[in-house]
Structure 1
Amino acid sequence: MAYLEYLVSEYWPHLALLLSVAVGGTAAVHAAMTKNDVRAAIGWVGIIMMSPLVGPFIYLIAGINRIRHDHISDQRNKSLKDYAVTPDLPAADISGIAPSQFASLRVLGDRVSHFPLRDGNCIQILQGGDQAYPAMIAAIDQAQKSVALQTYIFDNDSEGRKVVDALARAVERGVAVRVLIDAVGSKYSHPPIIRLLRKKKIPAALFMTNPLGFMRMPYANLRSHRKILVMDGCTAFTGGMNIRAGFVSAVAGPDTASDTHFKVEGPVVLQLMSVFAHDWEFTTKENLPYETWCCNTWRAPAPHALARCIRSGPDRYIVGTHNMLLGAFAVAQKHIRIQSPYFLPDQVLLGAINTAARRGIIVDIVIPGRNNLRLVNYAMTAQLDQIIRNHCRVWRAHGNFNHSKLITIDGAWSYVGSSNMDPRSLRLNFELDMEIYSREIAADIEKLIDSEISNAEAVTLEGLAAIPFRKRLRNRIIWLASPYL
């Protein structure tokens, strides 16, 4: 023991060097071998090598995908068979809805999503918490056999407790209920609502995206950002809205935030339920039986829309949304409308958007004038010149923060859901979106976007150049960290 103490005291610098080389080298090799994006690989290897002890620790926390690709993929494939039995579903034919230009986009969706495009869906747009939350609670109260709820943020506030009360009523009348909340998103309110759910004996679980478990890390990777509510396998709600009082005018008053959610009836509900069932099984190891959680017949009111779900996340469906958007921007012939609260596309998506604008396509991009994430707003501002100089029109909406994520192409195709157009949503988060072929729905979404544009200010190169240099420098420095915001 004395000799060992002597070695440590005498040669500790050499031992520290060996330890740093071993740990740093192992972490650098891991990053080089597992990162598919060359920029991410270079960035992580640089951080690790420049700081051989601190760098590997940072990589351990933020750089490693702990939801192993093979594990989650195998588990999902095993369960998918149980939810793929869909007899007598109407065939999807886009020829009467969308021009021939969308035929290739439909093929892309077939290959990216692995869910079939289904006809016979009724999709209703709900604006903000004033419309969405009462409709969601009413649907929960009407459920007869099952309720599945998945969300990113579920605040323990007046609106969150109303949803909990509805779920508790469902449990009391014998309805099977499951609630899945992201582990990071659950910490946005204190105490977290998971305690109230368990107190009321509502089966609930946390999607464990927090790398260390015991630390509150709002920027932790691998979040479940999906929003799903399914009743009896027949009626569902999905979109971009979390559960929190800030979206309700009676509570938030003049500071009410806006968002867009969707009530869905029809066979696409089966796909929403499938995604929930897979995430629930991954988290809890419980397999949800098809008979309790799904149905094979739907009586969706007209008009009907063709739709399917698009999954994306750091598993076998990585860059699913990224690929869909590249395809959509490539087939556009007239008009692209984009509304996003966090508009930070990577260079590939920027190139697709800019190429569309250079082809003569009208490209309108709406972002909030007032953003709830200051750093993201700085990074967005630093990048806007790259699209404005290529003839895209960028609008900063006046009024309160709008959290909607909406895209339309040529008045026939829409893309809605939980994905933001930023690196986190496109590569790190588990997201869920819908592609919709419907001129009626596209027209309604375009009205929402155009309404924002009518009360917005155009961003110009002159206006960006007029920003003081110190602020432009700050924006560019924050922009350098945009993949990790």
Structure 2
Amino acid sequence: MTQEALESLLLAIWPHVAAVFTVLANVLASGHAVLRKRDVRAAVAWVGLVWLVPLVGVVLYLVLGINRIRRRSRALALRQEHAQFPPQSGVPACTPETLTTAVPPAAHLAPLARLVDEVIHHRPLLPGNRLVPLEAGVGAYPAMLEAIDAARTSISLCSYIFDNDEAGGRFVDALGRAVKRGVQVRVLIDALGARYHWPPVTGRLRRAGVRVARFLPTLFFPARLPFMNLRNHRKLLVVDGRVGFTGGMNIREHFLPGHGDAKDLHFRVEGPVVGQLQETFAEDWVFTTKERLKGEAWFPPLEPAGPVFARGIPDGPDEDFETVRWTLLGALACARSTVRIVTPYFIPDPALIMALNVAALRGVRVDVVLPEKLNLPVVQWASTAQLWQVMRPNCRVFLTAPPFDHTKLMVVDGAWSLVGSANWDPRSLRLNFEFNVECYDPELATRLDAVIDERLTRARLLTLEELKGRSLPIRLRDGVARLLSPYL
């Protein structure tokens, strides 16, 4: 066959080959959506997009639609290897039955403890913990740096954002000093969060001798492209396996006094539950680097340190799918008198909205505290578009004046608290890897209620009349933004 004839043949058949490839790709993507999507509306939307916009829809589905990672076998092998639970301290796990006598004000929340037991089989509720709230900047960073400087054996640090700025520099210097003292240091940064500041801090950490890894890098790994929308949003620091820090704070100078003064809340953690913080980091680290962290340097015996009954609640698009969402629904169902929520990003799904409504209709006072001005306008528009659904059955929404408040808190009946990294939005509850801690302790709940009261001193009550008074173009803008809520 001549060259000219071959070219003619290729020109004749390539449209047919492209058509077959397109149909095959559409069929495979549609089949995956039909079989894997829990929400019928999501499955219908993705199938429609795949067929209405051939190939482009398939690419979008690969990038944004696949939201599960299978890593159960690796995580279970890790748990068996270091055998952290039941805890080495010998402190018995708390059952829902013993909770009723151990924490009488939380006795009516025993069904919530039972629910979380069922949702998270491998992390029991543990007594003997202490959690100290630390405000951003003046409280959290100094306490974290002091703990790093006191480290003797190991430091594990996980952050979604770790900027190469003044705040990041302080942590790099402290971690570098720890390495020089012979401390084992491991730092895990989300691959997307590492690019919030240029140049990224990873190079600076390596020059300081710190072993650092990026979670799910996709830029140079095409095989991981389907997971580029799944980010590690956890904030964990564990020193010597005994002292932990967790909450909502990234490492960036926005939280330093005089650099924007953004507000947030972090927690210093001691007691047996620190082992659950460390276990979560170890699972993420072995998933990312294949290195297993084991031995007393990372998992020492942990003794009781306080009165709080606590449990770590990991969440993510893997075996821990939607654990925080189940916990929120359970807490709303068990609440009797008050539910107080502070979050920067508030786009609850229909089930959570209904749970908030039902709680309010049962006579529970439901208060939601949000920033008046978000750092992400589209998210604020989408949130505002559905606030009327939350407020109509007597839920109250308060808007706090600037500076931007990144705090994430939930307190129920002055006895149960939930703290950590998760927001009330689809990204946190379905796509991100998150870590929260549930706490049964009236004293801690009282302290956190005081934090919320402080927020309310600079907040105003939002009314339905104000929402209805927005102009038509503004309401349309917000309504269109709400259509993007599954990806915000």
Structures share fold, TM-score greater than 0.5: yes
Give the equivalent residue in structure 2 for 1:105: 112
Give the equivalent residue in structure 1 for 2:369: 366
Q: Distance in 2 between matches of 1:44 and 1:359?
A: 37
> Is 1:84 aligned with 2:85?
yes
The CA deviation string for residues 323-347 of structure 1, in whole angstroms up to 9 with x for no partner, is 0010000000000001110000100
Contact persistence 2:152–2:183 (CA under 8 A): yes
| Cα distance change of structure 1 residues 9 and 162 upon mapping to structure 2, 3 Å threshold | same
Q: Distance in 2 between matches of 1:90 and 1:13?
A: 67
Give the equivalent residue in structure 1 for 2:279: 274
Count of paired positions? 474
The CA deviation string for residues 303-356 of structure 1, in whole angstroms up to 9 with x for no partner, is x21101001100111010000010000000000001110000100111111110
Contact persistence 1:385–1:461 (CA under 8 A): yes
- The letter of the residue matching 1:193 is V
CA RMSD of aligned residues (A): 1.7
Give the equivalent residue in structure 2 for 1:244: 252
Q: Distance in 1 between matches of 2:454 and 2:302?
A: 37
Give the equivalent residue in structure 2 for 1:296: 301
Q: Distance in 1 between matches of 2:295 and 2:120?
A: 21
Q: Distance in 1 between matches of 2:450 and 2:221?
A: 43
Aligned residue for 2:99, secondary structure, equals coil
Give the equivalent residue in structure 1 for 2:66: 64
Aligned residue for 2:139, secondary structure, equals helix
Contact persistence 1:378–1:479 (CA under 8 A): yes
Structure 1 range deviating more: 111-120 or 436-445? 111-120
Give the equivalent residue in structure 2 for 1:141: 149
Identity %: 45
> Is 1:41 aligned with 2:43?
yes
Q: Residues 444-455 of structure 1: matches in 2 within 5 Å?
A: 444-455=447-458
Q: Distance in 1 between matches of 2:354 and 2:147?
A: 42
- The letter of the residue matching 2:130 is C
Contact persistence 1:332–1:409 (CA under 8 A): yes
TM-aligned CA deviation for residue 12 of structure 1: 4.4
Q: Distance in 1 between matches of 2:41 and 2:218?
A: 24
Aligned residue for 1:94, secondary structure, equals helix
TM-aligned CA deviation for residue 109 of structure 1: 1.6
Q: Distance in 1 between matches of 2:219 and 2:25?
A: 19
Q: Residues 91-130 of structure 1: matches in 2 within 5 Å?
A: 91-92=93-94, 93-95=98-100, 96-97=102-103, 98-114=105-121, 115-130=123-138
Give the equivalent residue in structure 1 for 2:317: 314
- The letter of the residue matching 2:431 is L
Aligned residue for 1:89, secondary structure, equals coil
- The letter of the residue matching 2:274 is V
Give the equivalent residue in structure 1 for 2:203: 195
Q: Distance in 1 between matches of 2:371 and 2:124?
A: 34
Q: Distance in 2 between matches of 1:229 and 1:321?
A: 20
> Is 1:261 aligned with 2:260?
no
TM-aligned CA deviation for residue 365 of structure 1: 0.4
| Cα distance change of structure 1 residues 220 and 369 upon mapping to structure 2, 3 Å threshold | farther
Give the equivalent residue in structure 1 for 2:52: 50
Q: Distance in 1 between matches of 2:9 and 2:388?
A: 59
Q: Distance in 2 between matches of 1:45 and 1:164?
A: 46
> Is 1:323 aligned with 2:326?
yes
Q: Residues 149-188 of structure 1: matches in 2 within 5 Å?
A: 149-188=157-196
Give the equivalent residue in structure 1 for 2:477: 474
| Gapped regions of structure 2 (runs ≥ 5) | none
Contact persistence 2:236–2:244 (CA under 8 A): yes
Q: Distance in 2 between matches of 1:162 and 1:213?
A: 31
TM-aligned CA deviation for residue 85 of structure 1: 5.0
TM-aligned CA deviation for residue 39 of structure 1: 2.5
| Gapped regions of structure 1 (runs ≥ 5) | none
- The letter of the residue matching 2:73 is D
Q: Distance in 1 between matches of 2:6 and 2:36?
A: 38
Q: Distance in 1 between matches of 2:203 and 2:219?
A: 21
The CA deviation string for residues 351-378 of structure 1, in whole angstroms up to 9 with x for no partner, is 1111101111100001101111111000
Aligned residue for 2:187, secondary structure, equals strand
| Cα distance change of structure 1 residues 181 and 290 upon mapping to structure 2, 3 Å threshold | same
Could you tell me which of 23, 46, 52 is aligned with 2:25? 23
Aligned residue for 2:436, secondary structure, equals strand
Q: Distance in 2 between matches of 1:479 and 1:62?
A: 17
| Cα distance change of structure 1 residues 286 and 91 upon mapping to structure 2, 3 Å threshold | closer
4+ long deviations beyond 6 Å: none
Q: Distance in 1 between matches of 2:397 and 2:34?
A: 37
- The letter of the residue matching 1:111 is E
TM-aligned CA deviation for residue 90 of structure 1: 4.7
Aligned residue for 1:120, secondary structure, equals strand
Q: Distance in 1 between matches of 2:19 and 2:237?
A: 53
Aligned residue for 1:122, secondary structure, equals strand
| Cα distance change of structure 1 residues 58 and 230 upon mapping to structure 2, 3 Å threshold | same
Contact persistence 1:76–1:278 (CA under 8 A): yes
Contact persistence 1:257–1:400 (CA under 8 A): yes
